[in-house]
Amino acid sequence: MKNQVQLITYADRLTGSGLPVLKQMLDGPLVGLFSGVHILPFYYPIDGSDAGFDPIDHAQIDSRLGSWPDLKALGEGYEIMADLIVNHASGQSPEFLDVLENGTASKYWSMFLKEQDVFPNGITDEEAAAIFRPRPTSCFTPKTLASGEVVNFWTTFTDNQIDINVETEAGKNYLDKVLNLFANNGVKIIRLDAAGFAIKRAGTSCFMTDEAFAFIKQLSKQANEMGMETIAEIHSHYQTQIAVAEKVDRVYDFALPPLILHTLFTQNVDALVSWLTIAPRNCLTVLDTHDGIGIVDAGPEGEKPGLLNAAQVDNLVEQIHENSNSQSRQATGAAASNVDLYQVNCTYYDALARNDLDYLTARAIQFFSPGVPQVYYGGLLALHNDMALLDSTNVGRDINRSYLTPEKVDIQLQKPVVKALSKLIKLRNESQAFNGAFSLQGADSLLIMEWENQQHTACLKIDFETHLIEMTFADRKGAKRFNIADLLK
């Protein structure tokens, strides 16, 4: 993977069309900004109950977006990242419909995880309470077979997302089919979606079990042998991220987004510095994604202290709500139909009260942090919360999943903050310093982040007390110094 900025986007929501127009956009108005693109689920259908993360056919590109040859053509110029939806398939998938029709006689019977597979003698209340669940409802959904028998299927996320038993031949064959399509059609990086839930065991939280760790490691090895890298997508306590990082090519630094917000809100860098001192170096950095702003990644878990304490987390969440004029409150937790109750749904730009300087400062910290930076399309264009879409769907995450057109993109690209961010992206891409060694200093209101690669250096210095925000890039030809505010001119 190139150490340059990547784009995260839906093919349709950014372009108003599909893969061919996405390629035209990357080659045109976005040229020079991104070396790779994470295309969010493009499988059939893209407009299911979870915006493509509940595929009816994981092996078919939705015809409204294009075809596998279209994806391969895009991959000739950009590193493509795609989601392998490891944990579940749609309740309308041909495989699950066959299970409903034929029961135990279906060749896919073993592909889907059932309560009895993990709890053959039934589950106790104590065991049920121990299961980690992103929603407050039961992790099982009763489904009635054609025979009339009612079976409890495991549904970690929604009633329409039936968990796959990845330990069976049917489950393995399902994932192998998708892996082969990826390898043959230009995909270079695979995001292992919700892999932490992949293998459940009685007597555990059924999340990030020892067996799940081993599964992730083996799946990564398989992908590597096919010429692809893997990224583990796991929201959890920061110590879990450190452990997972040792078993895959890369992990997400999901602790970074809330810590940067905390730093900007409090003008104190201590929590951020503590994390960057120990954070995995083989990571992807993000501020915003198609999901919300993760909170669990920086907070405490049970008796384990977090990077932020409970009071700091509460203050962080409340400040986001205040900055967004309570729009995020309307989209978060029980206020809307949310898959994950541990994230705040809000654009990152609105979380910072649409303050251009704070937003660019946040991006500068992201770009100078260890890892390969990714920028979500909403963040690239400094979009506001999409309250109209939220009102029409009542899906909390839709507040940050706007539908655009090329004309709307062109308008947003003319905003001063977006032009400034584009300049910042190019500075990050063009400096060879970021392929070298990282060093960090900071306490209270002062943060200094430096990179050195032989004669190439890059330094970000922020003093929140004096409002100094300065970048310096140097090579054999000399040094260039920028004040972040100058990028807005």
Known binding-site positions: 50, 88, 191-193, 233, 290-291, 340-343, 397
Q: Are 78 and 26 in contact (CB under 8 A)?
A: yes
C-beta neighbour count of 451 within 10 angstroms: 21
Binding residues for sucrose: 88
Q: Which is the catalytic residue, given 62, 83, 115, 193?
A: 193
DSSP conformation class of 296: T
Q: Which is the catalytic residue, given 62, 70, 163, 233?
A: 233
Alpha-carbon distance of 71 to 39, in angstroms, equals 10
For the question of residue 115 being annotated catalytic, the response is no
CA dist list (Å): 466 to 34, 47, 67, 361, 478: 33, 48, 53, 14, 27
Binding residues for substrate: 50, 191-193, 233, 290-291, 340-343, 397
For the question of residue 193 being annotated catalytic, the response is yes
Alpha-carbon distance of 79 to 141, in angstroms, equals 38
CA dist list (Å): 447 to 165, 243, 269, 281: 46, 27, 7, 19
Strand partners, 150: 144
DSSP conformation class of 408: H
Task: State the number of CA atoms in the 13 A half-sphere of 398 facing the CB.
Answer: 18
Alpha-carbon distance of 413 to 408, in angstroms, equals 9
Residue 122 tokens read as: 């039934």
Q: Are 42 and 19 in contact (CB under 8 A)?
A: yes
Task: State the number of CA atoms in the 13 A half-sphere of 280 facing the CB.
Answer: 25
Q: Catalogue the active-site residues.
A: 193, 233
